[in-house]
Amino acid sequence: MAAAAAAATTSHKYLADTPQPSSESGMRFDELYRLKGVLGTGAFSTVREGFHRSSNDFSYAVKCINRKKLSEEDEAALLDEVSILKEMKHVHIIRLYDFFEEPSTYYLVMERMRGGELFDRIVAKAYYNEKEARDTCKIVLEAVRYCHDNHIAHRDLKPENLLLLSETDDSAVKIADFGFAKRVYEHNSLTTQCGTPGYVAPEILEGTPYDERADMWSVGVILYILLGGYPPFIESTQRDLFRKIRKGEYEFHEEYWGTVSQEAKDLISSLLTVDAGTRLTAEDALDNQWIMGDDAQLAKRDLGANLEKFRNFNAKRKFRAAVSTIIAINKFNSLKDDFFTSLKETSVQVADLKADIKEKEMLASMHHVHKD
């Protein structure tokens, strides 16, 4: 009971109201907040540690965006993202506490995520079992259900967007980066081809109208990785990758899936369904037999044999992200430095640089993009 009460207190702490006075007071950002060290840098922004002047007890991640570097389209997308994030108040969704629109700069006062990426935490474990994978999947499903109940499709669910609030609590998982998020009030009302290769739903690749059910496909991919240690769709070329996704061609290889619960595999199959109309909703998935399964029994199902495969996948994923980030930043800032020198000097830091260039990476990676 004490532990539960402590957890509840912690949750309420992180879901506290916006610090007062806020931007609604009409006061400038620098009148209400003071900035400290840099937490990360991107093509269009810098993320710095910030404190509200009323208290030093709580720090925030303040995203400072140079308005001069934004195109009209970028600016509209940012304001749309802010509008959505302001409505999101769930313990497993990153919180936007306040937003300042000033002549030269936008300031987003965000919840500070100190624990890094979820997948990095998992691969650092010495032991790993189905209960841990189930608990993580349940958290993601609860957050996705909240989004969908509030008519929001995330449209870019992937490992990079599953972050941890603290360095010690594995359950403090948050969905982040709502840059592609869109309001959905009618079935099949979205048309923009967006997302991340490997996680994007087949209906998006086909160019047909879609809705929030595309997120459930991405959840299926994430769950497959959580249990198997590698993605369901792997090909050497993007063309072949997209072909497999459109056809829903994947398998449970005996070497890695032979000891995994059949109920878990059934859940994945119900999510990685090409026909979005028959794909499980987040609500249905939370009622699944595996999600509701006995903790003790799931804890007995060791995934240690798949953990090494998971580590290899995660290392490759991080390296690809590092290379893509440096290429994009060098391109957007018209840097003249040699690429490989830049890669050597910054590869340790690139994990913190992804947020502001995601949309540009996606524009390059997808065949074409048109607006909803």
Can you point out the beta strands (E) in 168-322? 173-175, 182-183
Q: How far apart are CA 96 and CA 352, in angstroms?
A: 18
Q: How far apart are CA 281 and CA 270, in angstroms?
A: 10
Q: Are strands 162-164 and 105-110 parallel, antiparallel or unpaired?
A: unpaired
Q: Are 214 and 155 in contact (CB under 8 A)?
A: yes
DSSP for 133-172 reads: HHHHHHHHHHHHHHHHHTTEE----SGGGEEESSSS-TT-
Tokens of 251: 């398998």
**Residue 269 DSSP SS3:** helix
Q: Are 60 and 50 in contact (CB under 8 A)?
A: yes
Phi, psi of 91 (to 5 degrees): -60, -20
Catalytic residue among 57, 74, 98, 156: 156
Q: Is 240 noted as a catalytic residue in this protein?
A: no
Q: How far apart are CA 179 and CA 360, in angstroms?
A: 11
Considering all CA atoms of the chain, what is the largest pairwise distance in Å, rounded to the nearest integer?
61
Q: Are 252 and 261 in contact (CB under 8 A)?
A: no
Give yes or no for a cis peptide into 19 (omega within 30° of 0). no
Count of CB atoms within 10 A of residue 110's CB?
Answer: 20
Distances (CA, A) of 347 to 121, 330, 331, 341, 351: 19, 13, 17, 10, 8
Looking at the DSSP assignment, which residues form a beta bridge with residue 50? 35, 60
Geometric angle at alpha carbon 95, from 89 and 96, rounded to 5°: 110
Looking at the DSSP assignment, which residues form a beta bridge with residue 302? 129
Instruction: Write out the catalytic residue numbers.
Output: 156
